[in-house]
Amino acid sequence: MVAVSGSCVWIVPEPHDNRVVPQAPLLPYRNGLAPLRIRLPHGDSAPTVLAWLEREHPDDPWAASMVAREVVDEKGRPWNPESAYAPGRFVHFYREPAPEVHVPFELDILYDADGLVVVDKPHFLATIPRGMHVTETATVRLRRLLDCPDITPAHRLDRATAGVLIFTRPKELRRPYQELFSEREVLKEYEAVAGFDPSLEFPRVVRSRILKDHGVMVAREEPGEPNSETRIELISNAGSWARYRLFPHTGRTHQLRIHLSSLGIPIKGDPYYPVYTRTPADDFDTPLQLLARAIEFDDPITGERRRFESRRTLAG
């Protein structure tokens, strides 16, 4: 079962599920990261919790962490090296993330007041900790920069996309601002540099059915009832390239990239569409020319109209 809590998508284990998963912390956040959780499975003959942990997860310093009281149960009580194995109980702990390639671009703050933090995310920086990208994410950078572990994104931008990204500071503001996006009550304005085809007329609205399989890097369009919609406006053109203004009504994975590519005018620097090309993790030379230019909405707390704009520019 999956549930959204804070800055991550938590996987709530079903019975007999002993995967390592993020969990709402009984231990405090450390260096911008939440502790993890394991459920001790039934049917194991390990004599102690420590013995099971060292057997199943040998790369972690379990004994030292227990001595430091940094391994606790579901009620926050420390496990110690002599604790008897307890099937069905939980282990909460810290784990140092693997080394990551540093993203050499700054995360600029556009606004920080009223419980909101609005940033101008650079290209190549993921929004939330996930997979290969944990510390090199906007969420963790911002938590560390502002020394505020409760900072949580109200929405997400793809790692390849730059621009306006909104966070909340207190937990109480998470739901009202996240619901703005889930209920499509936000005007999102993007800018892109993509191919130019003089035979295409703009403005136009593109609607299609976009699907993405788990574990597959790219999404795809299929026949059927549309589940995505984008309004595209032409700003200017020069030779074989043009600048476009994009207004997505929906938020399907890679929607803007797919819609422009489907018109035969893929976004400049896109390694995914129309043909997927693997790029090295330390290759920052060719950013995707897609920018979340502005976000506009009626504030769910004050009712005032808000608009935040990126200060970044596309290379063209």
Domains in the chain, CATH or no CATH each: 2-93 (no CATH), 108-309 (3.30.2350.10)
- Per-residue confidence (pLDDT) for residue 26, from 0 to 100: 83
**Residue whose C-alpha is closest to residue 243's, from 180, 297, 315, 178:** 315
Q: Quickly state the pLDDT bin for 4 (edges 50, 70, 90).
A: very low
Structure confidence by residue, pLDDT tens digits, 188-209: 999 999 999 999 999 999 999 9
C-alpha 263/C-alpha 240 separation (Å) is: 14
- Per-residue confidence (pLDDT) for residue 302, from 0 to 100: 93
Q: Average pLDDT in the 260-285 region?
A: 96
Structure confidence by residue, pLDDT tens digits, 90-125: 999 999 999 999 999 999 999 999 999 999 999 999
In the chain, % of residues over pLDDT 70:
92
Residue 225 buriedness (CB in 10 A; 0-12 / 13-18 / 19+)? exposed
C-alpha 223/C-alpha 208 separation (Å) is: 8
Whether 59 sits among the annotated catalytic residues: the reply is no
Q: What is the CA radius of gyration of the chain?
A: 22
Q: Quickly state the pLDDT bin for 2 (edges 50, 70, 90).
A: very low
pTM (two decimals): 0.84
Selecting among 59, 112, 120, 158, the annotated active-site residue is 158
Structure confidence by residue, pLDDT tens digits, 241-259: 999 999 999 999 999 999 9
Question: CA 32, 183, 133: angle at the middle one, nearest 5?
Answer: 25
Cα 301 to Cα 115, 119, 144, 305, distances in angstroms:
10, 20, 26, 11
